[in-house]
Amino acid sequence: DLSWGNAESARLLLNLIAKRQGLGDILAEGVMRAASRIGGEATSMAIHTLRGNTPRGHDHRNRTTEQFDTCVSNTGTIETWGGPTVLGSFPSWEEIVAANLHDKGAMMFEDSLVTCRFNTRMNMDLLCQALGAVTGWDFTVEEGYEVGRRIVHLLRAFNVRHGVAGRSLDRPSPRYGSKPDSGDGRGRSLSDVWDAMLDRYYAGMGWDSDGRPLRETLERFHLEDVARDLWK
């Protein structure tokens, strides 16, 4: 009985997933693969990106900046969300892309410093000041973003090389991209403008129309060896 609020059943199911027993063996594959194996209506109900990532415990249809970020992320569920840019409850698609482009790299820079996000909240000025205090370097916010974006391009190139990145995968599943019945985004969806968002995002990142980092972009971030491998 997996009805909402049945904590004991949830505990048992988590144990089955961990041990890959019974239904747990299927669910251990993640939402996208599990839905595919179950078949039927499961594929239309499953919430995930087409790369197989699943969002955290929020309805991203009402958090569209985070939804787009999750779909284009090179890592897990988010790569940018929580950065310096603050938007309204349901911003325009242009604002969503601009925010992702502006904040891209902040989270990677923070991760590189191994600090707790709950303390620093990706405050780039604070992070650079802290780095300078520890190392004696005169490290600017712009340099911090450069470090983070270099990591983003490297991650993207790795994923492209291994076939887990590109326009066909940087998308939400039908359910994940559907119109919510309540909340600020009620009755609204980004599906009709998704390709326009990818076009602008890819161009802003210095990637080609399929989301592959351009040779000159990789070289500008001192990733010449990656450029040679990706564009050979």
How many residues are listed for the chain in this entry? 232
- pLDDT of amino acid 209: 98
CA distance 227 to 210: 16
CA distance 16 to 23: 7
- pLDDT of amino acid 86: 64
- Specify burial of residue 133 (Cβ count, 10 A radius: 0-12, 13-18, 19+): exposed
Nearest partner of 79 among 99, 61, 93, 95, judged by Cα = 99
The single-letter code of the amino acid at 56 is R
Cβ neighbours of residue 99 closer than 8 Å, sequence gap 6 or more:
65, 80, 83, 85, 87, 91
Buried b (16+ CB within 10 A) or exposed e, 164-186: ebbbebbbbbeebbeeeeeeebe
18: its two tokens: 């961990």
User: For the domain bounded by 57-230, which CATH number is listed?
Assistant: 1.10.599.10
Contact 217, 206 (CB under 8 A): yes
- The DSSP element (H or E) to which 125 belongs, if any, is helix 124-135
CA distance 29 to 113: 32
- pLDDT of amino acid 183: 84
Q: What residue ranges of the chain are covered by domains with CATH 1.10.599.10?
A: 57-230
Contact 221, 150 (CB under 8 A): yes
- pLDDT of amino acid 83: 61
- pLDDT of amino acid 85: 64
- pLDDT of amino acid 81: 66
Taking only the tens of pLDDT, the chain with its 232 residues reads 889 999 999 999 999 999 999 999 999 999 999 999 999 999 999 999 999 999 877 888 888 888 999 999 998 777 776 665 667 667 899 999 999 999 999 999 999 999 988 888 889 999 999 999 999 999 999 999 999 999 999 999 999 999 999 999 999 999 999 999 988 888 999 999 999 999 999 999 999 999 999 999 999 999 999 999 999 8
State pTM to two decimals: 0.91
Phi first, then psi: give them for residue 56, nearest 5 degrees.
-75, -155
